[in-house]
Amino acid sequence: MEDKVEFPVLDRGFVRLVDFMGGDEAVVQAARVSTGQGSKGLERDRALIDYLMSHRHETPFEHSVFKFHIRCPIFVARQWFRHRMASYNEISGRYTELRDEFHLPATLRTQVSKDYQYAPLPAETAAPLIERIAKHYDDSYRLYQELLGAGVAREQARIVLPLAIYTEFYWTVNARSLMNFLSLRAEAHAQEEIRAYAQVILQIFREKMPWTYEAFMKHWFKPVL
Ligand SMILES: Cc1cc2nc3c(=O)[nH]c(=O)nc-3n(C[C@H](O)[C@H](O)[C@H](O)COP(=O)(O)OP(=O)(O)OC[C@H]3O[C@@H](n4cnc5c(N)ncnc54)[C@H](O)[C@@H]3O)c2cc1C
């Protein structure tokens, strides 16, 4: 049965875990199939997961699978979809009229060094710019509506919409690929907006696969620059 809980991210986005198969025990089971053995008790199973992670013996982690429903701006989805080891299905701007929903940042940031260091713009500089961004969204959406009204096809009318418009997709990913995603997108080099999503997913991963999460944090994940 689908989980209705949506974890809010950014101003209008969310992460929702739709389905989950496996867990820590599925990793243990897969790793031990080669010797025809299953669980050897909690502590030894936990130690096995730690061993697998520390030796980058990653295929047993492919037997746990997460299905997420994601709502995020298109510029976040573009980064997300680079993670090829997963399955995606996205809402279609050809077949549906896109909604007037854009990511409007509460603050603006400036890049202060090449190695992904940023600082907030002063509020007095940011506030009028944010207002102009909002107006730009309004104008774009109005033009989109005008094009649709004139009979332009949805697939073509959408070309005037900014990358900040929200999209939705289903993302089915196994725990091995999920850890690769988290190692790249929940850490400090990742862009702040996708990192916000990855941080939520990291907590869902922790809840569903606590031993794997523990080993991942110990041997793989490097959160700081
Ligand atoms: C901070 C940051 C900056 C980035 N900047 C840019 C950028 O400027 N330009 C840009 O284009 N991308 C950029 N990317 C995207 C990046 O190059 C990867 O495409 C993205 O992070 C997905 O990672 P992945 O290939 O490991 O994941 P997946 O596609 O999910 O692949 C998982 C793993 O499968 C294996 N694999 C998958 N496909 C192949 C293949 N064809 N051949 C061999 N092995 C494969 C690899 O081991 C890979 O790690 C950036 C990513 C980050 C995190």
Q: Is 151 found in the same domain as 187? A: no
Ligand 1 centre and the CA of 12: distance in Å? 27
Q: Transcribe 80-108 into DSSP letters.
A: HTT--SSEEEE--TTTSPPPS-B---SS-
pLDDT at 21 over 70: yes
Task: Indicate if ligand 1 lies below 6 Å from the C-beta of 64.
Answer: no
Q: Is 176 found in the same domain as 84? A: yes
Which of 46, 185, 195, 206 is catalytic? The answer is 185
Quote the domain boundaries for residue 180: 7-92+165-219
Q: How confident is the model at residue 223, as a pLDDT?
A: 75
Detail the DSSP E strand segments found in 23-146.
65-73, 87-90, 109-113, 117-120
Model confidence at 3, pLDDT cuts 50, 70, 90, reads: low
Model confidence at 2, pLDDT cuts 50, 70, 90, reads: low
Q: Is 212 found in the same domain as 191? A: yes
Q: Is 48 found in the same domain as 123? A: no
Euclidean distance between CA atoms 153 and 156, whole angstroms: 5
Q: Is 116 found in the same domain as 155? A: yes
Q: Is 197 found in the same domain as 151? A: no
Burial 110-141, CB ≥16 within 10 A → b, else e: eeeeeeeeeeeeeeeebeeebeebeeebeebb
In a domain, 97, yes or no: no
Q: Is 65 found in the same domain as 20? A: yes
Task: Indicate if ligand 1 lies below 6 Å from the C-beta of 78.
Answer: no
Ligand 1 centre and the CA of 169: distance in Å? 20
pTM: 0.96
Ligand 1 centre and the CA of 182: distance in Å? 12
From 59, 66, 76, 82, mutation site for ligand 1 pocket: most ligand atoms within 8 A of C-beta: 82
Q: Is 53 found in the same domain as 36? A: yes
Structural domains counted in the chain: 2
Q: Is 170 found in the same domain as 84? A: yes
Q: Is 209 found in the same domain as 144? A: no
The predicted-structure confidence for 59-112, as pLDDT tens digits, reads as follows 999 999 999 999 999 999 999 999 999 999 999 999 999 999 999 999 999 999
In a domain, 58, yes or no: yes
From 85, 116, 118, 220, mutation site for ligand 1 pocket: most ligand atoms within 8 A of C-beta: 85
Model confidence at 114, pLDDT cuts 50, 70, 90, reads: confident
In a domain, 85, yes or no: yes
